[in-house]
Amino acid sequence: MKRIYLDYAATTPTDQRVLKAMEPYWNEKFGNPSSIHSYGQETKEAVESARNHVAALISAAPSEIVFTSGGTEADNTAIKSTGFTLREKGNHIITTAIEHHAVLHACQFMESQGFDVTYLPAETSGFVNISDVQRAIKEETILISIMHANNEVGTIQPIAEIGALAKERSILFHTDAVQTCGHMKIDVNQANIDLLSLSAHKFYGPKGVGALYIREGTPFIPFMDGGAQELGRRSSTHNVPGIVGLGKAAEIAMEEMAPEHQRIRTLRDRLLEGIQRNIDKVYLNGHPEKRLDNNVHLSIENVEGEALLINLDMEGIAGSSGSACSSGSMEPSHVMTALGIPPELARGSLRLTLGRFSTEDEIDRTVDALTRVVQHLRSLSPF
């Protein structure tokens, strides 16, 4: 059975072109980029070339890019470094209740350190209201951290408006762009973003590498002490193969983002229409228009998300549950809860996310398989 991968929001396969670019940096070109000799010089050049590509992807200057171990580190660094650096100025941080745990838990940590955090609600569509952001601002507000697009329901936030507001009030603005970077055009200057998190494995690069954009002049104390790499902003020897992979993924994204966007959107709409045509009592979560091109997040009445996933997997289809099931309890996720999705619908939720290697044939087979699975599960349901 040919398997179908529809969980691109969890991670993407590394593009063959990225793999090829990384290959020499495992052993042939292994120098430490901080070394003076020619081994070091050749890897330093590769790291700097990657930095140029990542910077170009978000219209930043190369010196504003700091390589990290991924999105989680970038988020933690943005929040904790900014918070502690600006402690004298104020102790208030604004975020939303639907952020990724990398932001939410970092904010909870900041609360334990005496910071005051406002967790803004979102509309049922997942959209954060700019007037709520405005109202939450206080004299002591030092940072607004609001994600670009939600990783579960795919809703895209009005980051340019939030950035403009933050700038007007002289507050730093961080956005977690892990789900959008490499998929959507982002201009950190146009959107007045001071700090931005991105992660290679969400756009066909390797896992365990990402970057934090830090606008020139942003007050910043490093999160880790050590050898003062990355101009003293992130110590530790560079993950050269990973960084080269991130750079290549960024280069490919720059070239292919526009045509890919249209193709994936067309496939996404085909998937949604097919499902809605064949299955009744199915609801789209997230914003109908302001959403990621590749995201279909559904609540399906009278089915359990976990059973849905297992049955789909048996049909060879990999999707994701809209509920956090790591604890085995299938409790609705914090996002579903914050959006006010009733628990019985949240429990029957399914996220299907498409990507570069999705095909029309896969979409049609998924519609057929999901239809069969839902019919089967409903036939067993007591409701």
Task: Give the binding site for ligand PLP (CB under 6 A).
Answer: 70-72, 75, 100, 102, 147, 151, 176, 178-179, 199, 210
Select 91 or 175, whichever has its Cβ closest to ligand PLP. 175
Cβ 360 to ligand PLP, closest distance in Å?
26
Q: From the CB of 76, what's the least distance to ligand PLP, in Å?
A: 9
Quick one: 71 or 286, whose CB is closer to ligand PLP? 71
Nearer to ligand PLP, 33 or 206 (CB): 206
CA dihedral over 133, 136, 137, 140, signed as positive or negative = negative
Q: Which residues pair with 199 in a beta bridge?
A: 210
CB of 179 to ligand PLP, least distance (A): 5
User: β-strands 210-214, 195-199: how paired?
Assistant: antiparallel
Closer residue to ligand PLP (CB): 326 or 379: 326
Residue nearest to ligand PLP (CB): 71
Q: Cα–Cα distance between 311 and 275 in angstroms, integer? A: 16
Is-contact 316 5, C-beta < 8 A?
no
For residue 152, the minimal CB distance to ligand PLP (Å) is: 9
Cα separation, 66 vs 212, whole angstroms: 5
Three-state secondary-structure class, residue 124: coil
Question: How far is Cα 155 from Cα 341, in angstroms, rounded to an integer?
Answer: 15
For the bound state, the minimum distance from the C-beta of residue 72 to ligand PLP, rounded and expressed in Å, comes to 3
User: Which is closer to ligand PLP, CB of 210 or CB of 332?
Assistant: 210
CA dihedral 154, 155, 156, 162 (to 10 degrees): -140
Tell the smallest beta-carbon distance from residue 110 to ligand PLP (Å): 17
Cβ pair 100, 151 in contact under 8 A: yes
Token representation of residue 126: 């997942």
**What per-residue string of b and e applies to 122-158 under the rule 16 or more CB within 10 Å gives b?**
beebbbbeeeebeebbeeebbbbbbbbbbbbbbbbbb
Q: Specify the residue, 147 or 279, whose C-beta has the smaller distance to ligand PLP.
A: 147
User: How many other C-beta atoms are found inside a 10 Å radius of the C-beta of residue 352?
Assistant: 27
Q: Quick one: 102 or 196, whose CB is closer to ligand PLP?
A: 102
For 202, half-sphere exposure in the C-beta direction (CA atoms, 13 angstrom radius) is 23
Query: How far apart are CB 62 and ligand PLP at their closest, in Å?
Result: 21
Residue number, 72 or 192, with CB nearest to ligand PLP: 72
Q: How many CB atoms lie within 10 A of CB 237?
A: 12
Catalytic residue list contains 325: yes
CA atoms within a 13 Å half-sphere pointing along the CA-CB vector of 317: 28
- DSSP per-residue codes, 212-258: EEE-TT-----SS-SS-TGGGTS-S---HHHHHHHHHHHHHHHHHHH
Is residue 156 within 8 Å of 290, Cβ to Cβ? yes
In angstroms, give the least distance from the CB of 337 to ligand PLP.
17
Which of these is catalytic: 97, 164, 307, 325? 325
The residues that are catalytic are: 325
